[in-house]
A and B are shown apart, each in its own frame.
Chain A
Amino acid sequence: MTKDHSAAAAEFNKDEARVNWHDETLWFVRSKRDKAVFQIPEWEQLREAGSQIKNHVLSNLHDYLTEFEKKATENGITVHWAADGKEHNEIIYSIIKNEGVNRMVKSKSMLTEECHLNDFLKEKGVEVIDSDLGERIVQMREEPPSHIVLPAIHLKKSDVGETFHQHLGTEKGATDPQYLTEAARQHLRDTFLTRKVALTGVNFAIAETGGFVVCTNEGNADMGAHLADVHIAAMGFEKIIPKAEHLGVFLRLLARSATGQPITTFSSHFHKPREGQKMHIVIVDNGRTTQLGRPDFRNSLKCIRCAACFNTCPVYRRSGGHSYHTAIAGPIGSILAPNLDMAQNADLPFASTLCGSCSNVCPVKIDIHEQLYKWRQVLVQDGHVSSIKSIGIKSMASVLNSPKFYRTAGKLGRFLMKTAPFMVNNNLNVWYNQREMPEVPKESFREWYLRRDVS
Chain B
Amino acid sequence: MKTFHETSLPIKTMSSREQILANIKTNQPDYQKLDVQFKFDTVYENLFEKFSEILSFVGGKAIVVNNYEEIKADVQEHYKGVKNIATTISELSSLADFNLNISDPHDLEMLNLAIIKGDFAVAENGAIWVSEKHIPHRVLPMITQYLVIVVKKSEIVTNMHRAYERVKVDETGFGTFISGPSKTADIEQSLVIGAHGARGLTVYVLD
Binding site for B on A (CB under 8 A): 25, 28-29, 42, 45-46, 48-49, 52-53, 55-56, 58-62, 65-66, 75, 81-83, 87, 131-134, 137, 150-153, 155-157, 160, 177-178, 180-182, 184-185, 188-189, 192-193, 206, 209-211, 217-220, 222-223, 225-227, 237, 242, 244-249, 251-252, 259, 261-274, 283, 285, 287, 289-290, 292-295, 298
Would you call B200 an interface residue if the criterion is a C-beta within 8 Å of the partner chain's C-beta atoms? no
Q: Among A59, A66, A192, A242, which residue has its beta carbon within 8 angstroms of that of B28? A: A59
Distance to closest chain A CB from B183 (angstroms): 5
Distance to closest chain A CB from B161 (angstroms): 4
Would you call B54 an interface residue if the criterion is a C-beta within 8 Å of the partner chain's C-beta atoms? yes
Q: Tell me what chain B mostly uses at the interface: helix, strand, loop, or mixed.
A: loop
Q: Among A45, A182, A184, A272, which residue has its beta carbon within 8 angstroms of that of B173? A: A272
CB-defined contacts of A217 to chain B, threshold 8 Å: 182-185, 195
Number of interface residues of B (CB under 8 A): 80
CB-defined contacts of A294 to chain B, threshold 8 Å: 4
CB-defined contacts of A245 to chain B, threshold 8 Å: 38-39, 161, 164-165
Binding site for A on B (CB under 8 A): 2, 4-8, 10, 15-17, 19-21, 23-34, 36-40, 54, 57-58, 105-106, 109, 122, 124-127, 137-139, 142-143, 159-161, 163-165, 167, 169-170, 172-190, 192, 194-198
Query: What total count of A-B pairs have CB within 8 Å?
Result: 272
Pair A262/B126 contact, Cβ less than 8 Å? yes
> Whole-angstrom distance between the alpha carbons of A271 and B138 in the complex?
12
**A28-B189, A177-B187, A248-B161 known; A219+B182 contact, CB < 8 A:** yes
Pair A289/B7 contact, Cβ less than 8 Å? yes
Distance to closest chain B CB from A271 (angstroms): 5
Pair A289/B174 contact, Cβ less than 8 Å? no
A selection of 7 A-B contacts at a CB cut-off of 8 Å is A49-B37, A56-B33, A87-B16, A150-B189, A248-B163, A269-B176, A292-B27
Residue of B nearest to A290 (CB): B7
Distance to closest chain B CB from A222 (angstroms): 5
Distance to closest chain B CB from A23 (angstroms): 13
Pair A56/B32 contact, Cβ less than 8 Å? yes
Pair A83/B16 contact, Cβ less than 8 Å? yes
Residue of B nearest to A55 (CB): B32
Pair B182/A265 contact, Cβ less than 8 Å? yes
**A66-B21, A193-B106, A269-B175 known; A56+B34 contact, CB < 8 A:** yes
